[in-house]
Amino acid sequence: MPMYQNGEVDPALKALEARQDEIMRKLYELKAAVDGLAKTVTTPDADMDVTTLTQTTTVSAFTGTADLDALLGKDPGALRDIVINANPASPPLSLLVLHGLLCQRYRVLSSVHVHSSVSSVPPQLLSCLGPRHTESYTRQCFQLGFTLIWKDVPKVQMKFSTQSMCPIEGEANVARFLFRLLGAEPKDPIVATQLDSWVDTAFFQLAEGGSKERATVLRSLNSALGRSIWLLGQEPSLADIVCACCILRDGQALSTPANVQRWLQACRNLEHFHCIAPLLQ
Amino acid sequence: MTKEEVKGSAEEEQQAAQSKKALKKQQKEAEKAAKKAEKQAKLAADQQTTEEDDFAQDRYGVCVLLQSQEKLDRSLVRVCELTPERAGQTVWVRARIHTSRAKGKQCFLVLRQQQFNVQALVAVGERASKQMVKFAANITKESIVDVEAVVQKVEQKIESCTQQDIELHVQRLFVVSQAEPRLPLQLEDAVRPEVEGEEEGRATVNQDTRLDNRVIDLRTTTSQAIFRLQSGVCQLFRDTLTKKGFVEIQTPKIISAASEGGANVFTVSYFKTSAYLAQSPQLYKQMCICADFDKVFCVGPVFRAEDSNTHRHLTEFVGLDIEMAFNYHYHEVIDSITDTMVQIFKGLRDNFQTEIQTVGKQYPSEPFKFLEPTLRLEFKEAVALLRSAGVEMGDEEDLSTPNEKLLGRLVKEKYDTDFYVLDKYPLAVRPFYTMPDPHNAKYSNSYDMFMRGEEILSGAQRVHDAQLLTERALHHGIDLEKIKAYIDSFRYGAPPHAGGGIGLERVTMLYLGLHNVRQTSMFPRDPKRLTP
């Protein structure tokens, strides 16, 4: 049977493709459901325990090869500390998720501070980076510092190498920077651009847009997630993280289409999403 | 005509002219005398009429010296309590005459009490006579007066006073204590912001004049605010530590041996021998730890005989010292000290906003910023930060004052905090009783704390093992005989401990962003000043 007829794809092939996609989707659903079940079976206090899931949900996409010296220039002989200023009124959920991913790859010294410009911060924001590292008294033993400061700032701000870099503003840009440290960004320029585009969509249209705009984005998310399990194909990426965080931040009040709902549940089942669960109540 | 003749005639002419002038002068003088006599007569007449006509005679005057003759049942209202709610009430107020301005039948007074002031009005009318207004206008500045007055709401806010919504209509006015007419410095000049003074070409008072006349300078709103805030620092320090279970101790200031080398101690003659003034209560704090007091603090004078005339050195200052036994890691102590500092900063931010703003009017500065928990960096990181900014320095070199300031700026840029801890100093630059770092013998378990890029606290885990302490002392070339008592106190079981001390004046100065530590010392002592 010829594959092409008059330059058109054989409808039979198309149908096959669709069927396979459907199977993959169902398989993933099943996996998510089993994960969820495993969580409730093994620990009664589901949100608190992440260690039991470490083995089951490790994401291969985030284990690319990255070397901090190659990414950030030569070793300064001291802790490379990333400082993030964020407003407690709108916690940057996507950055907390990325922090979880960084912790899987590097020895990260995480600390949370409250700046004098804000008077009180809810306790769950103070513990959002997880429990303190047991060796936190030896700063030199860590590869990366992640210092989150709750501060009265209009926009999320990142300060890293103050001598050579200007402060980076906007949660989207900080998220891109952190994601690159994982060395898992797509190599294909088209996919990389799609990723950037999803990140923009998430922060400009989902987070800040009106209800109409949000509905439009949800529709396009729904159709994209009809084609593949994750936004950019077979593996979760930054696009999934930021879009999911922006939707989750608004709460469940939105009427979310079926594909999106399933995908959201899949996201929440990822281990590194667990840290934001206490902030969503 | 000969020259002589010419000269002679010229002289004659001159004389004639002179005599004419003299005549005129005499005439004028006579007129003046007449006027004077007239004036005097008028004055006398006035006085007579005063004595005759002054219906308000017993409503004003100079009080007799107050020797506690009477115990009046009269309550004095504080100026800060004069609010619109009291409108219509008749109150008694004791205050100073800040300024007075007479205008025809009225006299406006600004009455000041500490950092608050209120406008008062003496006007000719039912209750006050012309003579009373005149008397009010003639009271010298800074005199203390008792005033009975009615509180009145005003239509327009009085911008120049702290009590802007009301004024006092004076009914009685008595001088309790009279000030000499000439003041060594004007209070308005002393509170004028420096920049503004230069622009307008108006007078400002320089530091030495202020300090020479400290009693008057301390009356300014700025000084009042500074020292009220300083008292707050002390209070918050005590409260926080007491809550944490600390015990306040008192230690002797006359000691037999210098604690940290003999170079910068004051020697005093002590009967047939000599003694020293304590540079820090270091030894005594540690002895208290060995004596099972566990957590101690001490507020008291500390002496430094350093002949340095800088903006931040005094020869006598108030030290706030902490020493604390810990369980396993000296960071327990760092956390305790930094938390105390943060509580102080928070307390000042929340309870002393008026004072901070008052000082800010004269010495504008950015509000003090800090993080909770406090940022802790290691010495190595500081060196890396400084190197990235182009400073060349060795790994084990101590921070110079300019580098300290630069580091403060770099830290502020990245973390936006004015307060941070620098941990793990090189062992070589610390005193002999500093505990070495177990992982790297070149470093030590010691730390400095900084406010606005200037060091305010220097502390460390102390060696609590007599053996190691002896070794370290020998390494530093210290005569063991002189510190025998100190080393001996660790022979009978000593808990691991750490501590540190801060200077009250420096903390106040840096919190408010002032530039000279003398501004925050009530009666500063430096190599060149011993009075007042």
**Cα–Cα distance for residue pair A237/A227, rounded to 1 Å:** 16
Residue B149 has pLDDT above 90, yes or no: yes
CB contact under 8 A, A117 and B369: yes
Does residue B263 register a pLDDT over 80?
no
Residues of B in contact with A139 (CB under 8 A): 376-378, 381
Q: Residues A234-251: pLDDT tens digits?
A: 888 999 999 999 888 876
Per-residue model confidence as pLDDT tens digits over B45-98: 555 555 556 788 888 999 999 999 989 889 999 988 899 999 999 999 999 999
Q: What is the mean pLDDT of each run of 10 residues along chain A (281 residues)?
A: 59 86 86 76 48 38 61 76 94 93 90 92 89 77 92 94 88 93 85 92 86 88 90 88 88 74 89 82 67
CB B164 within 8 A of CB B89: no
pLDDT band at B15 (very low <50, low <70, confident <90, very high): low
Dihedral angle over CA of A108, A112, A116, A117, nearest 10: 100
Judge whether residue B239 has pLDDT over 90: yes
Are B147 and B168 a contacting pair, CB within 8 Å?
yes
pLDDT of residue A28: 85
Q: Facing residues of B96 across strands?
A: B112, B144
pLDDT digits (tens, 9 = 90+) for B157-207: 999 898 999 999 999 999 999 999 999 988 888 888 876 555 666 778 888
In this prediction, residue B257 has a pLDDT band, given cuts at 50, 70 and 90, of confident
- Interchain CB distance below 8 Å, B329 and A137: yes
Chain A residues 101-160 within an 8 A CB cutoff of chain B: 111, 113-117, 137-140, 147, 149, 151, 159
A113: closest CA among B109, B267, B338? B338
The Cα of B72 is separated from the nearest Cα of chain A by a number of Å equal to 48
pLDDT band at B485 (very low <50, low <70, confident <90, very high): confident
Phi-psi region of B514 (alpha: psi -120 to 50; beta: other; left: phi over 0): beta
| Cα angle: B427, vertex B433, B434; to 5 degrees | 35
Closest-CA residue to B355 (of B225, B162, B222): B225
How near does any CA of chain A get to the CA of B373, in Å? 6
Concatenating the DSSP letter of every residue in A214-278 gives: HHHHHHHHHHHHHHSSBTTBSS--HHHHHHHHHHHHT-TTS---HHHHHHHHHHHHSGGGGGGGG
The residue annotated as part of the active site, out of B238, B458, B525, B529, is B458
Residue from the list B376, B384, B439 with its beta carbon closest to the beta carbon of A77: B384
Per-residue pLDDT at B109 exceeds 90: yes
Distance between CA atoms of residues B125 and B105, nearest Å: 9
No. of helices (H) and no. of strands (E), chain A: 9, 7
Report the C-alpha gap between B424 and B439 in whole angstroms.
11
Q: What is the pLDDT of residues B122-142, one digit of tens each?
A: 999 888 889 999 999 999 999
* CA atoms of B518 and B527, how far apart (whole Å): 12
Q: Note if B313 is an active site residue.
A: yes
**pLDDT per residue as tens digits for the range B362-403:** 999 999 999 989 999 999 999 989 998 889 988 889 999 999
Confidence band, pLDDT 50/70/90 cuts, at residue B303:
very high
Under an 8 A CB cutoff, do A139 and B376 touch? yes
CA distance A257 to A223: 10
What does the angle CA B106 – CA B109 – CA B112 come to, to the nearest 5 degrees?
A: 165
Question: What is the C-alpha separation between B128 and B51, in angstroms, rounded?
Answer: 15
Q: How many CB pairs under 8 A join A and B?
A: 66
How far apart are the C-alpha atoms of B142 and B436, rounded to whole Å?
Answer: 59
- pLDDT of residue B298 exceeding 90, the answer is yes
B369: distance to nearest CA of chain A, Å?
6
What whole-number distance in Å separates Cα of residue A264 and Cα of residue B422? 44
- CA B236-B242-B246 angle, to 5 degrees, is 130
Rounded to the nearest integer, the mean pLDDT of chain B is: 89
Q: Which residues of A204-236 are buried (b: 16+ CB within 10 A; e: fewer)?
A: ebbbebeeeebeebbeebbebbeebbbbbeeeb
Rounded CA-CA distance A183/A98 in Å is: 12
Label residue B43 exposed, middle or buried (CB < 10 Å: 0-12, 13-18, 19+): exposed
The pLDDT of residue B355 is 93
| Statement: residue B220 has pLDDT above 90 | yes
**Residues of A with Cβ-Cβ distance to B367 under 8 angstroms:** 116
Instruction: Pick the closest to residue B172 from B136, B118, B119 (CA basis).
Output: B136
Which of B345, B373, B410 has the CB atom closest to A162's CB atom? B410
Contact A78 B385 (CB under 8 A): yes
Least confident span in A175-179, B478-482, B494-498: B478-482
Measure B253 CA to nearest chain A CA, in Å.
36
> Which residue is it, tokens 């660790």?
B490
Measured CA angle at B394 (ends B391, B399), to 5 deg: 70
Active-site residue, selected from the candidate residues B142, B355, B455, B505: B455
| pLDDT score recorded for residue A58 | 36
Is the pLDDT assigned to residue B526 strictly greater than 80?
yes
Tokens 């005509």 belong to: B1
Is B102 exposed, middle or buried, given 0-12, 13-18 or 19+ CB atoms closer than 10 A? Answer: middle
The string over A138-172, giving b where at least 16 C-beta atoms fall within 10 Å of a residue's C-beta and e elsewhere, is: ebeebebbbbbbbbebebbbbbbebeeeeebeebb
Contact call for B372 and A114, based on CB within 8 A: yes
Interchain contact, B415 vs A149, CB within 8 Å = yes
pLDDT tens digits for range A38-69 = 766 655 444 444 443 333 333 445 544 557 77
Tell me the pLDDT band of B496, cut-offs 50, 70 and 90: very high
Instruction: Tell me which of A110, A117, A162 to substitute to probe the interface with B (most B C-beta atoms closer than 10 Å).
Output: A162
